[in-house]
Amino acid sequence: MREMLRAGAVAGLLIAALCAGCGAAPSAAPRPAAARSPAAPAATGGTGSAFPPEGSSGAGSGTSATPTPSASVLPLAGKVVGIDPGHNGRNKDAPDIIDRQVWNGREYEDCDTTGTQTAAGYTEAQFNFNVASDLRADLVADGARVVMTRHSNDGIGPCVTTRAEIIDRSHANVGIDIHADGGPVSGRGFTVLEPVADGPNDSVIRSSARFGADVRAALLAGTSMPESDYYGQDGLIDRDDLAGLNLTTVPKVLVECGNMPNPTDAALLTEPSFQRELARALAVAIVQFLTGGQAGSGA
């Protein structure tokens, strides 16, 4: 069984590459997950994962604090936010690495996938990284310390389980996995994917749902991207097959910011000014979640 899966994985990579992790798959077989992120609960202990790629520096380095004297008055002063830009720019060159099977808390899934792309070839990995970088800048300006799961779009991986682990170990107050979907050409809109209780994430299900509602509201208010018309309901859906959500010990959602194969969405998603708009909306959602209601204490 495993062997069959592995063999098929290589052959299927080209196909999977186009729609892989991203989200919704109205038809076809159960999409192996699209984004992966958060990780293990391990309260302590060394780096359990054997994946070095680029996340190795991740846990600590993508961090930025706001040192200014006025930091105490900034809305996110003292807060830690984890950002996982899905996929990576060179995943397509390393099927032997990203096809590796990892345990996501409920089942095996690929270490990582290549992500989707627009009809013109603009990759989801690049989009995710751009929005994540813009979001990081916004959050740092608001006083937060930010932990990223990758620091460029020119690497491979890390595995979805490692991405989760990086954010869990940072004890972030909240985390977000950034993606864009590879749905049907006719479909439009964003979807917020939320975790389903499975053990490791039990304590952050309700807080993640609150955060998901904040993300949905902020995207509707701050961008022209509509709720998805082909996936989920009212812009939301539960997913129990993604490492990033299964293994998270901090409140977290995965956002499919739009549908890359759709021409209208693609025109927006590839526009730098729209990417900044998306980032700003996500920052608003994070500030709302951490300061507006009762900030759900990191876990």
Q: Which residue has the tokens 């032997």?
A: 96
- Of the listed pieces 89-97, 174-182, 199-207, 241-249, which binds Zn ion according to CB under 5 A? 174-182
Residue with tokens 């040192």: 67
Question: Under the criterion CB under 5 A, does residue 192 sit at the interface with Zn ion?
Answer: no
**Residue ranges in 213-272 that form contacts with Zn ion under rule CB under 5 A:** none
Q: Report 33-92 residues binding Zn ion (CB under 5 A).
A: 34-35, 86
Single out the residue of 31, 92, 150, 179 in contact with Zn ion (rule: CB under 5 A).
179
Supply the residues annotated as catalytic.
256
Binding segment (CB under 5 A) for Zn ion, from list 30-38, 90-98, 147-155, 243-251: 30-38
Q: Which is nearer to Zn ion, 140 or 219 (CB)?
A: 219
Residue 176 binds to Zn ion (criterion: CB under 5 A):
no
Nearer to Zn ion, 18 or 205 (CB): 18
Decide the pairing of beta strands 236-239 and 191-195.
parallel
Whole-angstrom Cα distance, residue 163 to residue 165? Answer: 5
Tell the smallest beta-carbon distance from residue 150 to Zn ion (Å).
13
Least distance in angstroms from the C-beta of 295 to Zn ion = 28
Amino acid at 135: L
User: How many residues bind Zn ion, per CB under 5 A?
Assistant: 7
Kindly tell me which of 110 and 277 has the beta carbon lying closer to Zn ion.
Answer: 110
Q: How far is the CB of 91 from Zn ion (least distance, A)?
A: 11
Closest CA to 256 of 277, 237, 280: 237
Antiparallel, parallel or unpaired: β 174-181 and 80-85: parallel
Give 18's DSSP letter. H
Q: Is 22 in the site for Zn ion (CB under 5 A)?
A: yes
Contact call for residue 21 and Zn ion (CB under 5 A): yes
Nearer to Zn ion, 21 or 298 (CB): 21
Rounded to the nearest whole angstrom, what is the least distance from the CB of residue 179 to Zn ion in the complex? Answer: 4
Q: Which is nearer to Zn ion, 66 or 114 (CB)?
A: 114
Whether 33 contacts 25, CB under 8 Å: no
Stretch of 14-22, 38-46, 192-200, 264-272 lying at the interface with Zn ion (CB under 5 A): 14-22
Rg (CA), the chain: 17
**Sole binder of Zn ion in the list 38, 53, 55, 115 (CB under 5 A):** 115
Instruction: Tell me the sheet residues that pair with 84.
Output: 177
**Exposure pattern of 69-92 as b/e (b: 16+ CB <10 Å)?**
eeeeebbbbebbbbbbbbbbbbbb
d(CA 87, CA 293): 32
Q: What letter would DSSP give residue 123?
A: B
- Enumerate helices (H) and strands (E) in the chain, giving the number of each: 9, 8
Q: SS3 of 174, please?
A: strand
Per rule CB under 5 A, is residue 189 in the interface with Zn ion?
no
Helices (H), the chain: 2-19, 58-61, 95-98, 124-141, 160-169, 205-222, 243-246, 263-269, 272-287
Q: Which stretch binds Zn ion (CB under 5 A): 70-78, 131-139, 172-180, 276-284?
A: 172-180
Give 109 or 142: the residue with its C-beta nearer to Zn ion. Answer: 109
Interface residues with Zn ion (CB under 5 A)? 21-22, 34-35, 86, 115, 179
